[in-house]
Amino acid sequence: LRSAMAVDALDSCGVYFGTTGGQVYVSPDSGDHWTAIVQHLPPVLSVEVQTLP
């Protein structure tokens, strides 16, 4: 179901992915554990990670 993935440039262990089912998940530990951070979106085709000041 994964269709989009990004890695946090400031934390190489931070991985994010989006699904065609409309969810975005984050893993702070290189994929050992995952948490849904948003749901009920249209199919996610792209994920971008950006640091806010």
Give the DSSP letter string of 9-48: SS-TT-EEEEETTS-EEEETTTTSS-EEEE-SPSPP----
Q: What percent of the chain has pLDDT over 90?
A: 28
Q: Supply φ then ψ for residue 4, to 5 degrees.
A: -150, 140
- Residue ranges of domains in the chain: 2-38
Which residues in the chain land under pLDDT 70? 1-2, 9, 11-13, 51-53
Q: Do the beta carbons of residue 8 and residue 33 sit within 8 Å?
A: no
> What does pLDDT average to over the chain?
83
